Structure 1
Amino acid sequence: MSTAPLILELFTEELPPKALKKLGQSFSETIEQSLKSQGLLTEASVTTSFATPRRLAVHLSAVLNKAPDRAVKEKLLPVSIALDADGKPTAPLLKKLASLGYPDVSVSQLERQGSDKSEAFYLTIDVAGQTLAAGLQTAVEQAISKLPIPKVMRYQIAPGTAQVKDVEFVRPAHGLLAVHGTTTISIEALGLQSSNTTIGHRFLSKGSITIAHADEYANSLEKEGKVIASYSARIAKIRDALNQASNGQSVLMPESLLEEVCSLVEWPVIYTCEFEKEFLEVPQECLILTMQTNQKYFAMTDKNGKLSNQFLIVSNIETKTPEAIISGNERVVRPRLADAKFFYEQDRKKSLLERTPLLSKVVYHNKLGTQLERTERVGKIAQSIATELKKNNPAISIELAERAAKIAKADLLTDMVGEFPELQGIMGRYYALNDNEHPDVAAACMEHYSPKFAGDALPNTNTGTILALADKLETLVGIWGIGLAPTGEKDPFALRRHALGICRILLEKKLPLNVCNLITTTLAAFAQDEVKKNVDVAVIHGFILDRLRAYLKDQSLDGKNYSTNEVESVVSQLPEVFNDVLDRLKAVRLFAALDESAALAAANKRIGNILKKVDFKIPETINHDLLSVEAEKSLAAALENIMPQINASFKAGNFTDALQAFATLRTDVDNFFNDVMVMDPNTALRDNRLALLTKMHTLMNQVADIGKLAA
């Protein structure tokens, strides 16, 4: 059987740009999987996906024109049903064989497998391999049915193209191309009959393009049709062309914008446009957002990050006289920028403080009241956090924290944020500075939303840090309290993200705040009885610890991520203060590298298991007069000897030294468990030995539960 490359293309009207990438990937992947499952692909076959605004296509190398024949073992019937009492074939068996096209096969030609009641007859059948035409027909139907279509269109096909009158698809389809090597494969889809022709660029190409060979598809489209069929090649060309046209400036090109623009053009051409410099008086975030969101333009900045009045557009038209295209785009963007300028000027006429009372008309949640009530709760929480932090940091200002909490949400009422919700906080900072608020208060208006996502920057200022914590705690406790805790994948209020933000702020800024106390303080700020009734401090603490686990597993030391056991050794102790958690984790890693660590971890785990089973009170002190075995005397003495060193290291926060000091105990611990019976029949000896183990276990677990390393 011969092989040849295969090209399959579905030509349509303009596909939805935000869905194009997924549509292209799904189309090519399903075609590949279907042909492979039918035995039509060889081991050497390579799949290449194509997607443009007007086509979905896939190229596969080394495709068979017919799949190899194969032997299929068909289960017939259990022996007990297939044979009668005399061992002759029954009517059900004969009927089964006839239905398979083998009426003359005798029982002796059948294979018996199994034993007793599970024994059955099997027939090995030679099945002819699928032809490419039939296999491709199946693959196309599967690919179309599995496309992640955002919204289906119903349309009527052109008269005479097929018998079907109504078709449902993402966009009207007008062409189907299927070429295997140089041969056109006959298939049908969406009322279309396949051919070896396609259509190039809507404006830059004339007439149809014949694909003489499957391998010529991409080149023919590019040379004759002015179409770059490869999505990845097209986006790479756009990125390179933007940088070349930047004239030394930096081009702002978020990946989402690049992908959307790539999905709008088949032959990308870059043109430089500009707007009046007077618009640069508006905060550049506003101008950038309106250019990117509304017009799909690429803004540029100088080396200092200041916005330029020049911007780049990606056109689908190549011309030697682009003046009309440039002027048209400049004319279109001008009203958008003028709107932004108008919003900015109008918003500044009213201070954030003046807007704050109007938050009483904005519902936050019907069970949690208005945004004004929320603002007041955040203010109380922020005051409490600032008061606690000020004990160790005199630079903390309680007044600034309260002021920031009061005005931080007021920008939600501005025209600019109403038009561009993504600018909340950003505009708050600009308007606060315009109102002559303290710089830290202005910064907190923006920073209290941080971190917005994994890896996002934390607040820079003390005031922003305090407000960010207060805001996230209020959201977490409030939403949890009205019964909207995350379930499974559902987390509409992003409580997991808020909990992770709390962890990161406390950890990375090393804040000496008690999480359970923070939750209790937050809960006290709510007047709603439902919240007070439903919130269990321990449950929310546990929820935050789950986020802490996930965060710590992504951290590393010397390029190696912390293991689950290492993380669990710290988190299993249910820490309420996170400022030293990373230091404890580092100490655990360094302790685990010691030769003695495995034995000590196992011993610690063993001690923990022994103490869990004790249902009576263990003495708080060790009676040295009751130490009778040399091994327990030696362990008690060694413990007394290193205790001052360990306690001093722990108090100084030197957790590594505190843990590594236990390495000297290995021999004494081993001897103890080899020579001493802990649960001695003599209750006095038993209790004294348990007191010794309790003391050692407590001392060992001050930094972390090293027994988890033996899990």
Structure 2
Amino acid sequence: RSGEGKNEALYLNTIATGARLESALQQALIAAIDHLPIAKMMHYQITVPSGAIEEVQFARPVHRIIALHGSKTLAIHALGIDASKQTEGHRFLSSGMMTIRDAQQYESQLESAKVIASFGKRRAYIESELQKAAKGLRVLMPDALLDEVTALVEYPAIYSCEFDPEFLEVPQECLILTMQTNQKYFALTNQDGKLSNHFLIVSNIQTDQPESIISGNERVIRPRLADARFFYLQDQKRTLESRIPDLAKVIYHNQLGNQLQRSERVRALANEIASSLNQTGSQLKLQEIDRAAQLAKADLLTDMVGEFPELQGVMGRYYALANHEAPDVAAACYEHYLPRYAGDSLPQTLVGTVLAIADKLETIIGIWGVGLAPTGDKDPYALRRHALGICRLLLEKNLPLNLMQLIGLAKQQFSNLALKVEIDEEVIYQFILDRLKAYLKDQVIEGGAFSSAEIDAVLSAHPDRINDLIARLLAIRAFNQLPQANSLASANKRISNILKKVEGKPNTDINPSLLSIAAEQNLYAALTQLQPRLDQQLQAQQFFNLLQDLVTLSEPIDQFFADVMVMDENIGLRNNRLVLLQRLHQQMNLVADIGKLA
């Protein structure tokens, strides 16, 4: 027994039997191997020292395992192999087998045998040498490619190669993807982003005479680039418009129809969104929206996108320009996929922005409707990413669109389909809004990141439009500095708790004749006088001014709760007071649910 009062506790003294290092490491090694994310296993047999045949499954045959504690070899067995001190250096640059004398010397001994054991050290070296070899050009080195190349070499060397400049007539995205995906090469561009015909390779052989390595890689890349040019030229023999009917042959989802049907849904929704925007002062050309929606998916049927699916949209833009489509229509063929991931760029054109919103909303409603809503960490159709994309588009592009109305319009596009799951617009709204929380926490504006309480307050107010969320958050931050803020927030929280306990909602108008106590009469008068001003400030997005004016209600509210029994035995009085509180609650929550700040 230890401690006193609340700190009193019972405890037990015991001695745990120590475990042998070899036993613990054996178990840890097997567990680590079992948890490796290897998609396809190789099945092979190995003869163990006893002469028996052992069945092994692994990515590739393992030849040696080293397990040392200091200079002692640990008795560990895995993948049909007993651990030892024996290994070998670089296949071509070292003298063969070697003995690791001590665990502390493992890395240095391997490096003397032309093997850089540390992945991080190898990666940093490659990155540094690529920059040096670029000689003023920019190296395109996405993390995934850098990681893969690092894993492919033991003692890297960088060599500069080139291809025939005639291939530069092909869109550079095609050439870059060919080099990166097929050959693991690093493309080079000038400072303006224009592709150079020079590129860099990472070899596993360091030599003073790399001519054969360079010429071999230049020879290998030529047919790859020739294929890309062939696809590009073949695709241009048909217009994007001529490919539209063939979208009917491409299944989108067996319960949602083909890509042509999907395109028509996106098209109809995009036209609705464009009309809504034009009512707010935008000057979108509806014919461009309609045309872009028709053409947006047509490049899925081209040879280039068939070979490189990553180029969907990219090729649509090139082919649309080649077909003399309007620049914004061509841009939208690419931009409607944006943003593709967190931090990705947004569309530059309003046509592309509208089409991107329509495409993402159609995806969310459709996939949700067939019962494939995200669950836990499973989100095979990336609906969370699409939802965040919608939020970013509305917020960062400052589009005054009603999110609930957008969801309703998207739902209407599926009215002729018998969806497996009934679409609850409120559920979809909350799903999209939930994506905003993490996004808003990352925004550092005028005084630092927003707090969870500030974000919850704004989102709990169920905002119709989200383009003004940052302005609301800044207003809430400033309001929270006022001396009356905590009192008003606490009052709003109290009102919310009272209204939650009421069965049903009082929906009649306030009857002034039933306001029998001076405190409730004063609150009603103050609220009635202030309400038109609050509405004007809300329309003008003068959020902080609105919150400041709410402060004038602090004294009437405090007096109301001091003098008035809300839940009076008289049903008429009780209902009238609840209606008064409901109206007050609505006005206090115009900018945010300030009760969340209490």
Which range is displaced more, 171-180 or 651-660?
A: 171-180
Describe the shift of the 1:435–1:159 C-alpha distance in structure 2 as closer, same or farther (beyond 3 A): same
Secondary structure of residue in 2 paired with 1:574: coil
Give the residue type in structure 2 aligned to 1:220.
Q
Q: State which of 323, 331, 345 in structure 1 corresponds to 2:219.
A: 331
- In the alignment, the residues of structure 2 paired with residue 473 and residue 186 of structure 1 have an alpha-carbon distance, to the nearest angstrom, of 58
Q: Distance in 2 between matches of 1:616 and 1:425?
A: 50
| Inter-partner Cα distance in structure 1 for 2:319 and 2:585 | 57
User: Which of the numbers 609, 620, 637 marks the counterpart of 2:497?
Assistant: 609
Within 5 Å, which residues of 2 pair with 1:51-66?
none
* Native 8 Å contact 1:161 1:192 kept in 2: no
Secondary structure at the residue paired with 2:419? helix
SS of 1:239's partner is helix
Describe the superposition over 1:408-465 as per-residue Cα deviations: whole angstroms up to 9, x where unpaired.
1111111100100000000000011111110000000000011111222221111101
Deviation at 1:324, TM superposition (A): 0.3
| Cα distance between partner residues in 2 of 1:277 and 1:356 | 34
Q: Could you tell me which residue of structure 2 aligns to residue 575 of structure 1?
A: 463
**Paired residue for 1:271?**
159
The answer to whether residue 391 in structure 2 is matched with residue 503 in structure 1 is yes
C-alpha spacing 1:626/1:584, structure 2 compared with 1 (3 Å): same
Corresponding residue of 2:255? 367
Query: 1:512 aligns to what?
Result: 400
Q: Aligned partner of 1:592: which letter?
A: N
The reply on whether 1:670 has 2:558 as its aligned counterpart is yes
Structure-2 change in CA distance of 1:311 and 1:398 (3 Å): same
2:175 counterpart (287, 293, 304): 287
Give the counterpart letter for 2:103 in structure 1.
Answer: A
Tell me if 1:218 matches 2:107. yes
| Amino acid in structure 2 at the alignment position of 1:386 | A
Structure 1 137/519 Cα, relative in aligned 2: closer, same or farther at 3 Å? closer
Bigger CA drift: 547-556 or 309-318? 547-556
Can you list the C-alpha shifts for 1:635-670, whole angstroms capped at 9, x where unaligned? 445445544543332221101110122223333322
2:274, 2:294 → 1: CA distance? 15
1:656 & 1:688 partners in 2: Cα distance? 30
Equivalence map 1:611-650=2 (5 Å): 611-612=499-500, 613=502, 617=506, 620-621=509-510, 623=512, 626-629=515-518, 631-640=519-528, 642-650=530-538
Tell me the TM-score normalised to structure 2 length: 0.90
One-letter amino acid matched to 2:171: P
Asked which structure has the greater CA Rg, the reply is 1
Matches within 5 A, 1:392-403: 392-403=280-291
Q: CA deviation at 1:596?
A: 1.7
Q: CA deviation at 1:361?
A: 1.7
Query: In the superposition, relative to structure 1, how do residues 136 and 507 fare at CA in structure 2: closer, same or farther (>3 Å)?
Result: closer
Q: 189, 203, 208: which one pairs with 1:301?
A: 189
Selected match of 2:426 from 538, 541, 557: 538
Does residue 205 (structure 1) correspond to residue 103 (structure 2)? The answer is no
Structure 2 vs 1, CA of residues 372 and 704 (structure 1 numbering), >3 Å: closer, same or farther?
A: same
**1:488 partnered with 2:379:** no
Mapped to 1, the partners of 2:22 and 2:425 lie a distance apart of 65
Moved more, 213-222 or 322-331: 213-222
The 5 Å alignment of 1:380-419 reads 380-419=268-307
| Equivalent residue letter for 1:679 | M
Question: What's the secondary structure of 1:312's corresponding residue?
Answer: strand
Partner of 1:10: none
1:698 equivalent among 586, 592, 596: 586
> 2 CA distance for matches of 1:632 and 1:381?
48
Measured after TM superposition, the shift of residue 469 of structure 1 is 1.5
Structure 2 vs 1, CA of residues 676 and 241 (structure 1 numbering), >3 Å: closer, same or farther? same
Write the distance in 1 (CA, Å) between the matches of 2:24 and 2:588.
Answer: 67
Give the share of equivalent positions with the same residue, in percent.
56
TM-score, normalisation: structure 1 = 0.77
Aligned residue number for residue 450 of structure 2: 562
Task: Confirm or deny that 1:600 pairs with 2:488.
Answer: yes
C-alpha distance in structure 1 between counterparts of 2:304 and 2:30, whole Å: 48
Task: Determine if contact 1:400/1:441 at 8 Å carries over to the other structure.
Answer: yes
1:231 equivalent in alignment to 2:113: no
* Distance in 2 between residues matched to 1:134 and 1:380, nearest whole Å: 65
Q: Relative to structure 1, is the Cα distance of residues 124 and 536 closer, same or farther in structure 2, using a 3 angstrom cutoff?
A: closer
SS in 1 for 2:64: strand
Q: What is residue 178 of structure 1 aligned with on the other side?
A: 67
Q: Tell me the SS of whatever aligns to 2:63.
A: strand
2:354 pairs with 1:466: yes
Q: Indicate conservation of the 8 Å contact 2:270/2:290, yes or no.
A: yes
Structure 2: runs of 5 or more not aligned: 1-11
Q: 1:693 to 1:164 in 2, by over 3 A?
A: same
CA distance in 1 between partners of 2:46 and 2:111 (Å):
29
1:153 paired residue number: 42
Q: 1:418 to 1:660 in 2, by over 3 A?
A: same
Shift of 1:527: 5.8
- AA of the residue aligned to 1:363: I
